[in-house]
């Protein structure tokens, strides 16, 4: 992909952390509980539907007791998450901040959570075209069935230009960072002949609404 491409690039800073909603946590496959850990008041998570209110259980030598399973993020708290890289592997770390107290919730492989989340939401484009996941995630889609010379932007049809506008909007309004590289070879038998590569901040892909928008854009020319 050394020539004949159109590029949309926003070189902002990849965010270190981000605030999320309760529906995002549920989409990741977790329940949020208020209770105790080793007798101390705490918030913690378990796999969706795996635990019940009033239940006491032990994980890694620590005793957990569930007083109440939450139906929303408490009004005085925030759900925050970030991506970290340790020993060459990415992790999603998320926690709850309540006024001046912080409750660690989990540290998990983001690839596993994204797959579970995207499968549950039927985000087929994201699942099919994801290439690698780290602080950023890249998608690669090769829909080139007739090799020729890539067309210049001036010859792009309206539907293709609309895709590019949608990408600009995602970068500008939602992620603040991204790199989209696109080659277009024209239309044949009512099928668009193109190739794209898209780099985005991984942390934003855990947002249900943003992931939905990106999935739709990836499928607009199919």
Report yes or no: 163 and 183 within 8 Å, Cβ to Cβ. no
Say how far apart CA 38 and CA 188 lie, in whole Å. 65
Report yes or no: 92 and 81 within 8 Å, Cβ to Cβ. yes
Segment 109-153, tens digit of pLDDT: 999 999 999 999 999 999 999 999 999 999 999 999 877 899 999
The tally of CA atoms less than 13 A away on the side-chain side of residue 95 is 12
Tokens standing for residue 220: 């607009």
Signed CA dihedral, 36, 37, 39, 42: sign only: negative
Segment 176-189, tens digit of pLDDT: 999 999 999 999 88
Indicate whether this model's pTM tops 0.85. yes
């Amino acid at each position: 992909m050394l020539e004949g491409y159109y590029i949309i690039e926003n070189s902002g800073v990849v965010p270190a952390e981000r605030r999320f909603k309760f529906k995002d946590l549920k989409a990741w496959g977790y329940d949020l509980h208020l209770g105790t850990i080793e007798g101390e008041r705490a918030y913690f998570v378990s796999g969706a539907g795996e635990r019940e209110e009033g239940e006491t259980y032990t994980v890694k030598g620590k005793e957990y007791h569930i007083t109440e399973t939450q139906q929303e993020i408490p009004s005085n708290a925030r759900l925050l998450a970030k991506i970290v890289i340790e020993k060459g592997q990415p992790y999603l770390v998320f926690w709850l901040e309540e006024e001046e107290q912080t409750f660690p919730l989990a540290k998990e492989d983001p690839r596993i959570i994204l797959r579970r989340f995207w499968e549950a939401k039927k985000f087929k484009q994201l699942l099919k075209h994801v290439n690698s996941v780290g602080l950023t995630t890249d998608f690669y889609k090769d829909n080139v069935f007739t090799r020729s010379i890539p067309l210049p932007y001036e010859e792009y049809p309206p539907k293709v230009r609309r895709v590019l506008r949608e990408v600009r909007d995602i970068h500008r309004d939602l992620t603040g960072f991204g790199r989209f590289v696109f080659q277009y070879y024209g239309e044949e038998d009512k099928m668009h002949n193109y190739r794209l590569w898209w780099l985005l901040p991984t942390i934003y892909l855990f947002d249900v609404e943003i992931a939905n928008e990106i999935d739709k854009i990836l499928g607009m020319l199919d």
